[in-house]
Amino acid sequence: MSSVNTENGKIAEYKLFLVEDDGVIAGEMKRHLEKWGYEVVCVKDFRNVMAEFAACNPQLVLLDIGLPFYNGYYWCAQIRQVSQVPIIFVSSAGENMNIVMAVNMGGDDFLVKPFEPEVLSAKVQAMLRRTYAFRGQTSVMECGGLLLNMTDASLQANGQKVDLTRNEFRILQLLFENSGEIVSREAIMKRLWDNDCFVDDNTLTVNMTRLRKKLEAAGAGMLLHTKKGIGYMIGEGR
């Protein structure tokens, strides 16, 4: 797992994604966890949590329930469509029904406010230890609202999970890596050849046609652009 530098100069092995709309509480949690060497990314746009989640690509999520626009249960369900990253709910709504709901929606633990900072760091440490002692980190790529899950080779578009063939996934992975830029047909075919799968020009055309139809069916066809005679691009039109 790669390390990152935190604001206090320590090397962080884990990145945490904090979804908390109370600025004071978020700041206190961030400062405390950074003392333990974690990198903590706080949500800025509560309308667009999933895009920030994908950009962060965290190893753990700390999620409040009472949030602007959509509550924590909603965002937990959205995250669970693309990732199995551990989620700890952090909320003052600590009644049994809320705890049961959090677990049913895919949460892994629940921390009731108010709490001592040491309890927070202890829960985070325990969750990370349990999770990553047995499996690697989750990786999700984002472009134009599309979420490409590297762990199960699937795509989420407009809340729909789009199943991909092996070639379709590899094509999208390359396009995501170069989002907003044209990727030549030759580069795509080379990526597929590098994975021991022979693809000629006609086969690539068939793959791209099928991929476009899947995106169109999910209402995201406008994000895949064909540059005739050159190649393809994923992202907003220009």
**Pairing between β-strand 224-227 and β-strand 231-234 as defined by DSSP bridges:** antiparallel
Q: Check whether 3 has a pLDDT greater than 80.
A: no
Q: Report pLDDT digits (tens) over 46-77.
A: 998 998 999 898 999 999 988 899 998 889 99
What mean pLDDT comes out for the span 210-224? 91
Relative orientation angle of helices 96-104 and 72-80, to the nearest 10 degrees: 20
Q: Report pLDDT digits (tens) over 12-51.
A: 578 999 999 899 999 999 999 998 889 999 999 999 899 8
pLDDT value of position 141: 82
Exposed, middle or buried by CB within 10 Å (0-12, 13-18, 19+), for 145?
Answer: middle
Cβ neighbors of 31 (< 8 A, separation 6 or more) are: none
* The one-letter amino acid at 155: L
Q: How confident is the model at residue 5 (pLDDT cuts 50, 70, 90)?
A: very low
Q: Check whether 6 has a pLDDT greater than 80.
A: no
Q: Report pLDDT digits (tens) over 121-141.
A: 888 988 888 877 655 445 788
